[in-house]
Amino acid sequence: MQGYLWFAAKRFIQLLAVIFFGVSAMFVVTYLSPIDPVEQVLGRLSARSNLSPEAIAATRLALTEMFGTDQPVLTQYVNFWSRLLRGDLGASLMAFPTPAMELVLRAMPWTLGLLLTSTAITFVVGNLAGGLAGYFQNSRLLKAFGIVTMGLQPIPYYIVAFIILIVFGYLWPVLPISGGFAMDVRPGWTLPFILSVLQHSLLPALSLVLVGLGGWFIGMRALVSNIVTEDYVTYAELAGVRRDTIVGDYVIRNALVPQVTALAMVIGGVFSGTVITEQVFNYPGMGSLLVDAVNAGDYSTVLAVCTISIAAVALAIFIVDLLHPLLDPRVRAE
């Protein structure tokens, strides 16, 4: 148990380091950029409406104060952190005066739901199929499954999502291709709403699952086909241990350990995929919010989405890492 706590503590320090580094990198990017956020916001504002010179000057002053761009770097950096820790990144420009953080928190459940379910499905199906394909190497069905998923795997998310959109939007319109839920359903914990949400999430989730399957399949098949040749598997077979026990407890469990490590490593990449998927399917999550915010020149919201996503990805990796020792007793012992 003490070993586990030590392990968890080390991982926790790493989590803090990742968030610290990511957020600092964001600060450096925004600080070093040749573009002044104040002037940018001002440009956006005055492009849409006629403002008197006095109003512009007043707005500039207010914005400078809000972003704190007139202070020395270190003060700005400290201010940035203190505002971040208080969860206050200023008002959003697109949906003035809603705080940017509130927009992010509103969009987060959509992205989390989509990301978690599709990652879970991908991981389970890909590893199960890959494990079986590694053990039963002559199965035609599993071979065909492998070829299809491997063919899809290297293709960029966008292309797969787009092909799905064309197939289900134009050729065979059976599923909704846009939005998070049907227009005529009132949000709430009611059955029609939940059904509508599920129905709308099918296509975005499908595109994420299709792209993700191949990687797990290939990895697991390679791992299992190595493990199958080990002596203990042959011994178990000769000793008459049941087939499903061998496959499940002896082979796949052992092969799963590196796969869980890999799961922690791909979460960041899956997040980029969700952004694109949300954009293609017009899903009301953080990805769509990010794209809208960039297009609207909404400084606070862009920063808020970036911070939250870095922290969320780091947290997800941390949780997967904590689950790791439960699967592999060797990590606990170290």
Partner 1 sequence: MFAVLRDLIRYNAEFTIGLILVGIVAIFAALSFFSPVDPTQIYLAIPDQPPSAQYWFGTNSRGQDLFWQLSAAFKNSLIFGITVAVLSRIISIAVGLAAGYLGGWVDRVLMFINDIFVAVPIFPILVLFYFVLRNHMDSFTMALIMACFGWPFDARLIRSVALGLKHREFTRHAVFAGMSTRKVLLEEHLPYVMPIVFSTFMNNMLWSIGMEVTLAVLGFTNINNPTIGTVLYWANSHSAMVVGVWWWVLIPVILIVITFVGLFLLAVSMNEYIDPRSRLRRMGA
DSSP state at residue 10: H
Q: Which is nearer to partner 1, 112 or 185 (CB)?
A: 112
Residue 26 half-sphere exposure toward CB, CA atoms < 13 A: 20
Per-residue DSSP letters for 14-49?
A: HHHHHHHHHHHHHHHHHHHSSS-HHHHHHHHHHHHS
Question: In the bound complex, what is the minimum distance in angstroms from residue 188's beta carbon to partner 1?
Answer: 31
Using the contact rule CB under 8 A, the part of the chain among 50-58, 67-75, 158-166, 242-250 near partner 1 is 158-166
Q: Is residue 200 a contact partner of residue 182, using CB atoms and an 8 Å limit?
A: yes
Residue 115 as a binder of partner 1 (CB under 8 A): the answer is no
Using the contact rule CB under 8 A, the part of the chain among 18-26, 58-66, 141-149, 249-257 near partner 1 is 18-26
Residue 72 as a binder of partner 1 (CB under 8 A): the answer is no
Residue 14 as a binder of partner 1 (CB under 8 A): the answer is yes
Residue 333 as a binder of partner 1 (CB under 8 A): the answer is no
Separation CA 70–CA 36 (nearest Å): 11
Site for partner 1 in 184-243 (CB under 8 A): 218
Contact pick of 91, 132, 213, 317 for partner 1 (by CB under 8 A): 317
> % helix / strand / coil in the chain, to the nearest 5?
80, 0, 20
Q: Which is nearer to partner 1, 3 or 151 (CB)?
A: 151
Separation CA 23–CA 40 (nearest Å): 22
Residue 33 as a binder of partner 1 (CB under 8 A): the answer is yes
Question: In the bound complex, what is the minimum distance in angstroms from residue 72's beta carbon to partner 1?
Answer: 20
Separation CA 224–CA 218 (nearest Å): 10
Q: Which is nearer to partner 1, 157 or 168 (CB)?
A: 157
Separation CA 246–CA 242 (nearest Å): 6
Task: Note the Cα 107 to chain centre separation in Å.
Answer: 13
Residue 17 as a binder of partner 1 (CB under 8 A): the answer is yes
Contact pick of 3, 68, 151, 192 for partner 1 (by CB under 8 A): 151
Residue 34 as a binder of partner 1 (CB under 8 A): the answer is yes
Question: In the bound complex, what is the minimum distance in angstroms from residue 229's beta carbon to partner 1?
Answer: 9
Tokens of 308: 């939250």
Separation CA 92–CA 96 (nearest Å): 5
Q: Which is nearer to partner 1, 7 or 157 (CB)?
A: 157
Separation CA 293–CA 301 (nearest Å): 6
Q: Is residue 220 a contact partner of residue 145, using CB atoms and an 8 Å limit?
A: no
Binding residues for partner 1, per CB under 8 A? Answer: 14, 17-18, 21-22, 25-26, 29-30, 33-35, 150-151, 153-159, 162-163, 166, 170, 218, 265, 268-269, 271-272, 275-276, 279, 290-291, 294-295, 299, 302-303, 305-306, 309-310, 313-314, 317
